[in-house]
Structure 1
Amino acid sequence: MRGWMRDLTDLALPTECGGCGSPPAVLCARCRALLERAEPRRVRPVPEPPGLPAVYAAAPYAREVRALLLAHKERGALALTGALGAALAGAVWAGLGPGRGGAESRAGPVILVPVPSARRAVRRRGHDPVRRMAVVAAGRLRRAGVPARVAGVLRQRRPVVDQAGLDARRRRENLAGALEVRAGGAQLLAGGRIVLVDDLITTGASLAEAARALRAAAGTRWEPDMPVYRGATREGREERQTGPRAQRGKSVHGAPEKGTVNIIGSAVRAAVIAAPRDSFE
């Protein structure tokens, strides 16, 4: 069933709560409060994979929150997108730190980059859950005074196996080199504060691989809290391409610069809705 048909069905036929199963609302007041009252914090999986950016999560991945994410992702409960997207916006906001929507916004917009799902998974589900939530999160941030947009610039360059049941090492091996930035995607990121977004972090392998793909597109190596891009940009809609002005000078190695420099103005961050309880700082 296509996404818009599911949306109409959810509106016309309210069902049980996706979190606790209580009727008749698709999200009961108690489960909504779990998301709205969440206090996003920094999370660190153990072991922490190399290259993992600073990650902020809204809530522990347990019971009702787990059920809500699964209902949205696997059962097409699209009426949950708004509440989940708002929780994601809270995690993004926490990760931006001081100057979230004030002076720091002059450095460029907040650009939410969804971690892509496998194409076969999107076809099976009939929608891309992370991208849906990212669009809602960007809207919430804009209403809070933070210039934000979504840039779906990542894609899978090779198939990967289902991550379920894999330990941390095997997940890293499964995802190594699996993502890349689409042609022209770096221009959509130039000058922005980049935040990778996903619904969940477990071992951190997916977010680490997504960050690696961004750094590879920029031709940089990973260092803790290392800036990836730096440049000017003009704001626009998600579908509108933006890019940096040509800059001349020296590269990080001191060689003369021959073309446009695409370097993000601050370190890559990451935000998710949920994380294992023992990973919260």
Structure 2
Amino acid sequence: MRGWWREISGLVLPVSCGGCGIDRTELCEACGAQLYGGAPRRVRPSPEPPGLPAVHAAAGYEGAVRAVLLAHKERGALGMARPLGRALAGAVRAGAEQLPDGRPLLLVPVPSARRAVAARGHDPARRIALAAAAELRRTGVAATVAAVLRQRRAVADQAGLTAAERRANLAGALDVAVGGGRLLTAGRVVLVDDLLTTGATLAEAARAVDAARGGVRAGATGCDAAVVAASPLAFDAACPAVREINRNCD
């Protein structure tokens, strides 16, 4: 009921821009420029968890981008799903273009915990993935959403956990629904989420997909992960020059 009411109220009541709060029904031009106006890039958390696939992000998690993501995820600003999907589509496309093979893209959203979905009234990553797939199809890219990942056990709240604690918390937490493994062979898998922090969640999602596909890495044929936003430091860590400096300083 909560999700239904948010959908209806978003249609009939004024909605503020998720980035700056200006009273309007869509994301304002300035905030949109921060969200999807730049070139998506490869990102790497530091330290990088084992098994993390190649990840592309549309923008840094700061300013209006952070505000829009939080408005959609925590405050039920469902109208922000479309611009967030546009940003995610750009990140997906940036990775997919590195190794085009003509196969359709299967966007596999990382699932939220059941209690989080119940509290928010919606699943943010899945909603953004659907918007991204629609944007990709609109621009001529064959894409669909395969929401096949499931949480097989409860996990602790990730807030406040270190990178190592997050990896331990999520180890073995995800699997693919029955029949999902066959579905994942129909195209090129791209794991998608709203935000990259330590990379532990995407690494666990990749492990679950690998297992369902008989050990075949999800990224074996191209881009295998995309997010709307990542820490600005993750953009720096993906730069070869920065990585070389860091190695020299170790």
Shared fold (TM-score, shorter chain, > 0.5) = yes
Aligned to 2:242: none
**CA deviation digits over 1:45-73, x for unaligned, max 9?**
00000000000000000121111101101
1:60–1:276 Cα contact (<8 Å) kept: yes
**CA deviation digits over 1:120-166, x for unaligned, max 9?**
11111111111111111111111222111000110000000000000
Query: 1:260-279 maps to which residues of 2 (within 5 A)?
Result: 266-267=221-222, 269-279=224-234
Matched positions, count: 236
Whose helix proportion is higher, 1 or 2? 2
For 1:268 and 1:215, the matched residues in 2 are separated by: 15
For 2:51 and 2:137, the matched residues in 1 are separated by: 29
What SS is found at the alignment partner of 1:73?
helix
For 2:163 and 2:151, the matched residues in 1 are separated by: 20
What SS is found at the alignment partner of 1:190?
helix
Matched, 1:201 2:190: no
For 1:195 and 1:66, the matched residues in 2 are separated by: 23
Task: Report the Cα offset of residue 33 of structure 1.
Answer: 2.0
For 1:158 and 1:268, the matched residues in 2 are separated by: 28
Task: Report the Cα offset of residue 267 of structure 1.
Answer: 4.9
Aligned to 1:44: 44
1:228–1:268 Cα contact (<8 Å) kept: no
Cα 1:268–1:214, aligned 2, differ >3 Å: closer, same or farther?
farther
1:20–1:64 Cα contact (<8 Å) kept: yes
What SS is found at the alignment partner of 2:186?
coil
Aligned with 2:179 (options 173, 179, 184): 184
For 2:223 and 2:186, the matched residues in 1 are separated by: 12
Whose Rg is larger?
1
> Where in structure 1 are there 5+ consecutive unaligned residues?
221-226, 230-263
Task: Report the Cα offset of residue 27 of structure 1.
Answer: 2.3
Query: 1:222-241 maps to which residues of 2 (within 5 A)?
Result: 227-228=216-217
Runs of 4+ more than 3 Å apart: none
Matched, 1:131 2:163: no
Aligned to 2:135: 140
The AA in structure 2 aligned to 1:40 is P
1:200–1:275 Cα contact (<8 Å) kept: yes
Task: Report the Cα offset of residue 269 of structure 1.
Answer: 0.6
Query: 1:86-235 maps to which residues of 2 (within 5 A)?
Result: 86-98=86-98, 100=100, 104-105=101-102, 108-220=103-215, 227-228=216-217
The AA in structure 2 aligned to 1:64 is A
Aligned to 2:80: 80
Task: Report the Cα offset of residue 218 of structure 1.
Answer: 2.5
1:196–1:268 Cα contact (<8 Å) kept: no
What SS is found at the alignment partner of 1:88?
helix
TM-score normalised by structure 2 residue count: 0.89
Superposed CA RMSD: 1.7
> Where in structure 2 are there 5+ consecutive unaligned residues?
239-250
